[in-house]
Amino acid sequence: MKLDDIVEKFVSFVFAVLIVLMAVVVFLSTVDLIWLLLKYLVVPPFGLIEIDQLLEIFGLFLLILIGIELLDTIRIFHRERIIRVEIAVVVALLAVARKVIILDYKSLTSFTLLEVGAAVLGLAVAYYLLRLSRSPRGKESGSGGPPREASTL
């Protein structure tokens, strides 16, 4: 058995473990979201959810979406050895959006808000440029075909 075969089997094992662990985390987070939502709906006043509770629910919802995207990214990288940069930028945008939703604005400095705004702007520009780079010439940007992969390993 060659060293390359051993390394490949080891990498496959690690990817399988990562996929299973991420699936467990996404499942448990989904169960937690359902439990949280039910808990907030059955506590008096019935059916009314306060702003802080909504922000907690939205933050958990976005966390689950991030987990699903990461799970898909790990799966695709394992199968095709391709890093999908566009998806990585979308995951980063979701993570920043989640952070923006759960931030306590009363305790933040204006510089922190500028930093978050710069991160959002930078990721949005990166996403736009990635979408623009994959659209065929002569067509409207963003209406191109399937995404091109940025890197293969």
What integer pLDDT is reported at residue 26 of this predicted model?
96
Same domain, 73 and 33: yes
- If one counts the domains in the chain, the total is 2
Q: Do 63 and 136 fall into the same domain?
A: no
Q: Residue 142: name the closest of 94, 70, 86, 85 by CA.
A: 86
Residues 4 and 73 in one domain: yes
Distance CA 149, CA 74 (A): 14
pLDDT of residue 152: 47
Domain span at 103 = 83-153
- What φ, ψ does residue 152 adopt, rounded to 5°? -120, 145
Give dist(CA 54, CA 31) in Å, integer: 17
Closest by CA to 120, choosing from 102, 138, 137, 95, is 95
Domain endpoint, select from 64, 80, 96 = 80
Please tell me the predicted confidence (pLDDT) of residue 83.
Answer: 78
Candidates 121, 124, 116; CA nearest to 100 is 116
Q: What is the pLDDT along the chain (153 residues), one digit of tens a residue?
A: 799 899 989 988 998 999 999 999 999 999 999 999 988 888 887 778 888 888 889 989 989 999 998 898 888 888 888 878 888 888 888 888 888 888 877 888 888 888 888 998 999 999 999 989 887 764 554 444 455 555 444
pLDDT confidence of residue 137? 62
Same domain, yes or no, for 89 and 72? no
